[in-house]
Amino acid sequence: MQFLCKWRILKYVKDFKIINESICCLRLKAKWFACTLINVHAPTNVETEEIKEEFYNLLEQHTNQIARSDIKIILGEFNEKVGKESIYKPTIGNESLHNETNNNRIKMIPFAISKTVRSTFPHTDIQQTAGQRIK
């Protein structure tokens, strides 16, 4: 896991922490606040439940350790497919590319709700196509 920063941004970097091969954090200091970016790559749907549970426990633990005053932004790949079922619309919105939800959402949706995480942009057909090629 890593972040790429332009050299002009480096002076604002206050901390960089590699949690494991799937999670890292970058803390930036702005004029009136700090922002922590959390970059993740969640286990795929074919991984064991123990591996998924370990990932989400570690993510939860490190997210809770970030200062409450920081703006927290979680970026990355959660390897989930959240469908268009009405139960998920308050969290994911109307922008899902998938009709049905896969098993990884069982971990991702409760985490997102507990942290007041919301999808902030619509997914494109390019992302769906790229995901299918990677499998």
- Tens-place pLDDT, residues 35-62: 999 999 988 878 888 998 899 899 999 9
pLDDT above 90: percentage of residues in the chain? 28
Residue 71 falls within a domain, yes or no?
A: yes
Q: Report the pLDDT value the prediction gives residue 86, as an integer from 0 to 100.
A: 63
Maximum pairwise Cα distance, the chain:
44
**Which amino acid is it at 23?**
I
Q: Report the pLDDT value the prediction gives residue 34, as an integer from 0 to 100.
A: 95
> What is the domain count for the chain?
1
Q: Is 55 helix (H, G, I), strand (E, B) or coil?
A: helix
Cα 75 to Cα 23, 36, 49, 87, 92, distances in angstroms: 10, 11, 22, 23, 15
Q: Report the pLDDT value the prediction gives residue 91, as an integer from 0 to 100.
A: 60
- Given a cut of 90, whether residue 120 has pLDDT beyond it is no
Residue 78 · residue 106 · CB < 8 Å: no
Residue 3 falls within a domain, yes or no?
A: no
Residue 4 falls within a domain, yes or no?
A: no
Residue 1 falls within a domain, yes or no?
A: no
- Given a cut of 70, whether residue 90 has pLDDT beyond it is no
- Given a cut of 50, whether residue 15 has pLDDT beyond it is yes
Residue 114 falls within a domain, yes or no?
A: yes
CA contacts within 13 A on the Cβ side of 83 = 9
What is the bridge-based pairing of β-strands 23-29 and 71-77?
unpaired
Considering only residues 75 and 35, tell me which one the structure prediction assigns the higher pLDDT: 35
Q: How is residue 11 written in tokens?
A: 């002076």
- Given a cut of 70, whether residue 85 has pLDDT beyond it is no
**How many residues are listed for the chain in this entry?**
135
Instruction: Kindly tell me the sign of the dihedral angle through the C-alpha atoms of 36, 63, 92, 96.
Output: positive
Q: Report the pLDDT value the prediction gives residue 106, as an integer from 0 to 100.
A: 55
Considering only residues 123 and 82, tell me which one the structure prediction assigns the higher pLDDT: 82
Residue 5 falls within a domain, yes or no?
A: no
Residue 98 falls within a domain, yes or no?
A: yes
Residue 26 falls within a domain, yes or no?
A: yes
| Domain limits for position 125 | 10-134
